[in-house]
């Protein structure tokens, strides 16, 4: 087990470069298996989820090499339609193997995925999509089994704009016979990134980024070279850390368009934000103003940034209300912030946060990835020492978090127990 030890109350200053998007990478890495030849993926973040996915691909028979932030995936030898359960259960995104294996072999056996415990995360919309394309789908003993003698394009209306279902249906449909129409599709940036990558492999996907995606099936896909988009949630987390510490930082290598709701909320909270090309400068106020926020699918305020924002608001001059609309249990981490002196009341999926002048460092535990990010933001702004247990959970999705924060002047250490 590893933990983070933070001496708080140091204003963050300086420059930080953002890595590639976790949620894009975990969709695009398995998509590379669909090419006839090798693919090179650039700007892949050095995070645990990526390493686990690389291992899953190897277990399926593919050749994978990872050199810093460049991954090469060669599907030569990829012959197994059965995903290794011990690895699949480690991350949510392993459910993309369903779409990939079904497209490639017409059959798939994939254990139900793991990932953050933030409430029930059904896959009914994924299965609805596969069935619409002509697959038999069953879930038994924790394993999803899919079979199709042939996949045929069809309209699929999603009851909710699910990111995972949109991506899985795109993966399954890109080599189906005929045209698939995904209605009420998710519009998140990583959906668009995957569509761009698949199109560079020869797929014919239009409309990604809108709520209707049209996929005209092609016979084969080829290998490609694709650069993963920057991580909008990593960016949002550093923005929150700057605001929480009254810091002054420049974040480079970002796509500012993807951050509109976060920029708007942090401006409301009193931050000064300048954006220019691929960089954002954030200057935090001495204490933030309170804000109200409700998480929504893109382009609404992202659920993944809700937890770090709550940490910022614990020091606001007044009362903020945060409503989580995506997941039933994404406020479970609040108890850890309360241990640090935060004054937060949770009712259902709403947190009412009465700001206090300061938090006080204490031992806390990261219960999921973004909960961990929230505790890091809180620890950076708290008086005294914060110890965050469960660092591995944070390292699932944040690249070089200790080094990046040290570069910004944080007093932070990784301790291996």
Which residues are identified as catalytic?
116
What is the 3-class SS of 200-264, one letter each residue? HCCCEEECECECEEEEECCCCECCCEEECCECHHHHHHHHHHHHHCCCEEEEECCCHHHHHHHHH
Residue 370 is a binding residue for ligand EPU (CB under 6 A): yes
Tokens standing for residue 394: 């944070």
Q: Pick out residues in 377-416 that bind ligand EPU (CB under 6 A).
A: 397
Q: Which is nearer to ligand EPU, 316 or 394 (CB)?
A: 394
Residue 353 is a binding residue for ligand EPU (CB under 6 A): no
Residue 4 is a binding residue for ligand EPU (CB under 6 A): no
Angle (CA) 117-121-126 rounded to 5° is 145
Binding range to ligand EPU, per CB under 6 A, among 114-122, 148-156, 203-211, 374-382: 114-122
CB 253 within 8 A of CB 288: no
Q: How far is the CB of 87 from ligand EPU (least distance, A)?
A: 15
- Given candidates 90, 126, 145, 287, which one binds ligand EPU under the rule CB under 6 A? 126
Residue 228 is a binding residue for ligand EPU (CB under 6 A): no
Q: Which is nearer to ligand EPU, 4 or 165 (CB)?
A: 165
Residue 144 is a binding residue for ligand EPU (CB under 6 A): no
The rounded distance, in Å, linking the Cα atoms of 94 and 278 is: 31
Size of the site for ligand EPU (CB under 6 A): 25
Binding range to ligand EPU, per CB under 6 A, among 8-16, 122-130, 136-144, 404-412: 122-130
Residue 160 is a binding residue for ligand EPU (CB under 6 A): yes
Q: Which is nearer to ligand EPU, 47 or 103 (CB)?
A: 47
Q: How far is the CB of 181 from ligand EPU (least distance, A)?
A: 18
Q: How far is the CB of 79 from ligand EPU (least distance, A)?
A: 26
Residue 374 is a binding residue for ligand EPU (CB under 6 A): no
- Going by their DSSP bridges, the two strands 363-365 and 385-389 should be labelled as parallel
| DSSP, residue by residue, 391-408 | HHHHHTT-TTHHHHHHHT
CB 229 within 8 A of CB 193: yes
Q: How far is the CB of 48 from ligand EPU (least distance, A)?
A: 13
Q: Nearest 10 degrees: CA dihedral of 309, 311, 312, 317?
A: 120
Binding range to ligand EPU, per CB under 6 A, among 55-63, 117-125, 286-294, 382-390: 117-125
Tokens standing for residue 49: 């989820």
CB 146 within 8 A of CB 107: yes
The rounded distance, in Å, linking the Cα atoms of 322 and 78 is: 45
Angle between helices 189-200 and 22-31 (to 10 degrees): 30
Residue 164 is a binding residue for ligand EPU (CB under 6 A): yes
Q: What track of x and - describes contact with ligand EPU for positions 299 through 328 (by CB under 6 A)?
A: ----xx---------------------xx-
Q: Which is nearer to ligand EPU, 316 or 369 (CB)?
A: 369
Residue 369 is a binding residue for ligand EPU (CB under 6 A): yes
The rounded distance, in Å, linking the Cα atoms of 254 and 232 is: 7
CB 136 within 8 A of CB 146: yes
- Which residues does 287 contact at the CB level (< 8 Å), separation at least 6? 246, 270, 315, 316, 317, 355, 357
Q: How far is the CB of 386 from ligand EPU (least distance, A)?
A: 21
- Which residues does 156 contact at the CB level (< 8 Å), separation at least 6? 128, 129, 132, 133, 169, 180, 181, 182, 183
Residue 123 is a binding residue for ligand EPU (CB under 6 A): yes
Element at 88 (helix H, strand E): helix 85-88
Q: How far is the CB of 170 from ligand EPU (least distance, A)?
A: 13
Residue 139 is a binding residue for ligand EPU (CB under 6 A): no
* Residue facing ligand EPU at closest CB distance: 164
CB 198 within 8 A of CB 155: no
- Given candidates 81, 90, 92, 104, which one binds ligand EPU under the rule CB under 6 A? 92
Q: How far is the CB of 367 from ligand EPU (least distance, A)?
A: 12
Q: Which is nearer to ligand EPU, 93 or 312 (CB)?
A: 93
- Going by their DSSP bridges, the two strands 143-147 and 107-111 should be labelled as antiparallel
Residues that bind ligand EPU (CB under 6 A): 23, 26, 92-93, 116, 121-126, 160, 162-165, 186, 188, 303-304, 326-327, 369-370, 397
């Amino acid at each position: 087990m590893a933990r983070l030890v933070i001496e708080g109350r140091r204003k963050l200053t300086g420059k930080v470069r953002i890595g590639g998007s976790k949620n894009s990478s975990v969709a695009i890495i398995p998509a590379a298996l669909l090419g006839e030849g090798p693919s090179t993926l650039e700007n892949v973040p050095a995070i645990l989820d990526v390493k686990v996915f690389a291992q899953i691909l190897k277990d399926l028979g593919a050749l994978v090499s990872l050199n810093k932030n460049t991954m090469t995936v060669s599907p030569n030898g990829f012959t197994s339609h059965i995903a290794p359960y011990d690895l699949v259960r480690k991350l949510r995104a392993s459910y993309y193997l369903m779409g990939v294996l079904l497209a490639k072999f017409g059959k798939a056996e994939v254990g139900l995925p793991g990932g953050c415990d933030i409430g029930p995360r059904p896959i009914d919309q994924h299965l609805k999509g596969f069935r619409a394309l002509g697959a038999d789908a069953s879930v038994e003993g924790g394993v999803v089994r899919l079979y199709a003698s042939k996949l045929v394009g069809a309209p699929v209306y999603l009851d909710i704009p699910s990111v995972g279902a949109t991506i899985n249906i795109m993966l399954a449909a890109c080599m189906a016979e005929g045209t698939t129409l995904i209605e009420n599709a998710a519009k998140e940036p990583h959906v668009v990134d995957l569509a761009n990558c698949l199109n560079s492999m020869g797929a014919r996907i239009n409309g990604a980024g809108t709520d209707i995606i049209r996929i005209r099936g092609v016979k084969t896909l080829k290998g490609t070279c694709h650069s993963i988009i920057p991580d909008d949630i990593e960016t949002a987390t550093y923005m929150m850390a700057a605001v929480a510490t009254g810091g002054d930082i420049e974040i480079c290598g970002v796509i500012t368009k993807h951050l509109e709701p976060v920029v708007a909320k942090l401006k409301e909270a009193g931050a000064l934000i300048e954006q220019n090309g691929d960089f954002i400068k954030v200057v935090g106020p001495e204490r933030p103003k309170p804000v109200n926020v409700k998480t929504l699918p893109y382009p609404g305020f992202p659920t993944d940034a809700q937890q770090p924002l709550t940490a910022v608001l614990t020091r606001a001059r007044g009362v903020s209300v945060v409503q989580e609309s995506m997941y039933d249990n994404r406020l479970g981490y609040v108890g850890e912030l309360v241990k640090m002196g935060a004054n937060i009341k949770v009712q259902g999926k709403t947190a009412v946060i009465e700001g206090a002048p300061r938090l006080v460092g204490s031992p806390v535990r990261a219960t999921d990835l973004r909960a961990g990010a929230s505790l890091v933001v809180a620890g950076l702004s708290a008086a005294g020492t914060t110890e965050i247990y469960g660092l591995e959970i944070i390292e699932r999705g944040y690249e070089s978090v200790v080094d990046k924060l040290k570069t910004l002047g944080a007093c932070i250490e990784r301790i291996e127990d």
